[in-house]
Amino acid sequence: MALLITKECISCGACLPECPNEAIFETRSDAEAKGNHVTGWLGIGDSIYVITHDRCTECVGHFDEPQCASVCPVDDCCVPDPSYPEPREALIEKAKRLNPDKEIHADKGWSKVRG
């Protein structure tokens, strides 16, 4: 279902514009103010960027690998969220629901999808 951003984040901002689902926010407060949820205590205090599991599809339906992890300059900063595994089919449906005006590619996605 989702990746998460670890406390190693240096808030460089590189990931935010790359997300095809608008699942990344500069602060947890901003994500929550827009009705989204963030895993555990990540981003409390608004010191790091966050991913909301409500909108992340692990880039399934859009790209062959998660774009946030691809552009992040920090190793192991954008990683799978163990709390939210979801099968590939569910991620495709989620991508369609979130992006009614975009073409969703059922063959796009990485090999680490869980669930």
**Residue from 1, 38, 39, 66 in contact with ligand SF4 (CB under 6 A):** 66
Q: Does 5 bind ligand SF4 (CB under 6 A)?
A: yes
| Surface-to-core class of residue 14, CB atoms within 10 Å of its CB (0-12 exposed, 13-18 middle, 19+ buried) | middle
Asked if residue 1 lies in contact with residue 56, where contact means CB atoms within 8 angstroms, the answer is yes
Q: Does 54 bind ligand SF4 (CB under 6 A)?
A: no
- Chain positions 9 to 48 lying near ligand SF4, rule: CB under 6 A, are 9-15, 18-21, 23-24
For the chain, how many residues are written?
115
Q: Identify the DSSP state of 41.
A: T
Interface residue list for ligand SF4 (CB under 6 A): 3, 5, 9-15, 18-21, 23-24, 49, 51, 56-59, 66-68, 71-72, 74, 77-78
